[in-house]
Amino acid sequence: MDVPSLTIFEARESAVRSYCRTWPKLFDRAAGSWLYGQDGQAYLDFFAGAGALNYGHNNPVLKQALLRYIASDGVTHSLDMHTVAKSEFLSAFDELILQPRQLDYRVQFPGPGGTNAVEAALKLARKVTGRRDVVAFTNAFHGATLGALAATGSRFHRAAAGVPLPFVTRLPYPSAASGGAGSHEVERLVEDSNLALDKVAAVIVETVQGEGGINVAPFEWLSELSQLSRRHGIVLIVDDIQMGCGRTGPFFSFEPALVTPDIVCLSKSISGYGLPLAVTLVRPELDIWEPGEHNGTFRGFDLAFVAGAAALQLYWRDDTLEKSTLAKAQHVAAALGQIALSMPGTGIKPRGRGLAQGLAFGEAGLARKVSFEAFERGLLVETAGPDHEVVKLLPPLTVSERELDQGLSTLADAVGYVLNRST
């Protein structure tokens, strides 16, 4: 049998492909925190499907739930019809996530991806308020379809639209170093932008910007933003697509800020297994959709419901995973801090929250070199930020302490190699 090669991808796949250019490898299988090349070479995965694999590759408990469901001829595709799989997912989500947090949301399934969740959120906010303008933030990433793209901060991605992307005002995203600024900072920024608050339908924000460079919003600032939105009848949307499902410790990344968004967008790890699923959570009084007014063919993917329910049952019955994630986060932060200290004068700065952390490099191009060198050493880490200046770590939440140490050691070696060659 012929050994597969990368030639077919060059010949037939669109030039839009990106991650495969960073990691030019023919991957064959995956388990836990590991990806394996067709040649058998192992790679420790600190990318985790850009946050879609919080519970690791082919999680054995979730896999068995899927295998049992498929073997029993369970419904696979159901649009928005009632199915047992959807019932079990909704029941688990209600019992294990919403009720313990005293959250009251209607659950909308808008389609297969995060951008679908954002599109539904923006569309509903405009419908509810009768307003059209949206406030978003610099370096945000909310998706690549037109509505979500308009709120995305990346000029590179927005330029691909080929049409104007109006009705979005972009404000500066804060930094943890700013301490959240004063009690009226958000209002001052709004005033400086000459934006009429009575015309704003929604504010959309990530509590931690993943693609934007692992930028962390102070809790005080998030609370202030929530209060401002309430005072002016603005719908507050939290995009928790990459940072939700436990990535920062608690299930929702906004929990420590003690805010209750009007709408929450989830995707990526909500299915547990890396299967396509998106959720838009809406306060009941905002759920004014007419039947079928917003729809999509793949809004009822029952295999994702099965795996998602199994993940909720397995990991969110208590706070074990949350405590484990926070403990691992402290370990990662200490290790990244040590890497920075070991390279004085280089301007390396650790940043992040939970198991979404990174190293910011002052010189353009260094992060990409570190990512490449890490790949050569058997570790997958991507880059983030407007100039790809941040090496971004998103290991599975289920990563073992030994794997975590191995990955951090490999990263330290890659950083040292690149910086020593650059000096």
Check which CATH number belongs to the domain holding 220 and give it.
3.40.640.10
Residue-level pLDDT at 366: 96
Same domain, 161 and 207: yes
Residue-level pLDDT at 73: 98
Residue-level pLDDT at 184: 59
* Residue 67 included in any domain: no
Burial (CB count <10 Å: 0-12, 13-18, 19+), residue 291 = exposed
Same domain, 81 and 213: yes
* Residue 145 included in any domain: yes
* Residue 17 included in any domain: yes
Token pair of 102 as six digits: 């005293």
Region of residue 139 (left: phi > 0; alpha: psi -120 to 50; beta: else): left
Residue-level pLDDT at 179: 47
Domain termination site, one of 315, 338, 371: 315
Token pair of 401 as six digits: 């302490």
CATH number assigned to the domain comprising residue 50:
3.90.1150.10
| 393 phi and psi angles, rounded to 5 deg | -110, 120
* Residue 177 included in any domain: yes
Residue-level pLDDT at 422: 75
H/E run at residue 159: helix 155-159
DSSP 3-state of 167: coil
How many domains, in total, are found in the chain?
Answer: 2
Same domain, 153 and 286: yes
Same domain, 178 and 211: yes
Task: Select from 352, 360, 414 the least CA-distant residue to 386.
Answer: 360
The residue behind tokens 């419901």 is 305
Same domain, 382 and 272: no
Taking each helix axis from N to C terminus, what angle separates 366-376 and 401-422, rounded to the nearest 10 degrees?
Answer: 130
Domain termination site, one of 315, 340, 366: 315
Same domain, 248 and 358: no
Domain termination site, one of 315, 334, 356: 315
Task: Select from 213, 252, 253 the least CA-distant residue to 367.
Answer: 213
* Residue 272 included in any domain: yes
DSSP 8-state symbol, 280:
E
Residue-level pLDDT at 56: 98
Same domain, 385 and 401: yes
Residue-level pLDDT at 423: 65
Same domain, 308 and 329: no
Residue 377 half-sphere exposure toward CB, CA atoms < 13 A: 22
Same domain, 144 and 226: yes
Same domain, 263 and 121: yes
* Residue 289 included in any domain: yes
Same domain, 54 and 79: no
* Residue 271 included in any domain: yes
Residue-level pLDDT at 242: 98
DSSP 8-state symbol, 242:
T
Same domain, 199 and 303: yes
The residue behind tokens 């990563």 is 399
Cβ within 8 Å of residue 47, ≥6 positions away = 380, 381, 382, 394
CA dist 27 to 20, 35, 40, 129, 190, Å? Answer: 10, 7, 9, 47, 48
Q: pLDDT tens digits, the chain, 423 residues: what are they?
A: 455 789 999 999 999 999 999 999 999 999 999 999 999 999 999 999 999 999 999 999 999 999 999 999 999 999 999 999 999 999 999 999 999 999 999 999 999 999 999 999 999 999 999 999 999 999 999 999 999 999 999 999 999 999 999 999 999 999 754 544 434 566 776 666 677 888 999 999 999 999 999 999 999 999 999 999 999 999 999 999 999 999 999 999 999 999 999 999 999 999 999 999 999 999 999 999 999 999 999 998 999 999 999 999 999 999 999 999 999 999 999 999 999 999 998 999 999 999 999 999 988 899 999 999 999 999 999 999 999 999 999 999 999 999 999 999 999 999 999 999 876
Q: Does the reported pTM lie above 0.75?
A: yes
* Residue 66 included in any domain: no
DSSP strands (E only) in 329-400: 349-353, 356-360, 379-380, 382-384, 390-393
Q: How far apart are CA 69 and CA 273, in angstroms?
A: 14
Q: How far apart are CA 301 and CA 378, in angstroms?
A: 34
Q: For residues 108 and 286, is the Cβ–Cβ distance under 8 A?
A: no
The H-assigned helical ranges of 212-319 are 219-231, 302-315
Question: What is the domain range of residue 16?
Answer: 7-59+320-422
Q: How far apart are CA 226 and CA 391, in angstroms?
A: 30
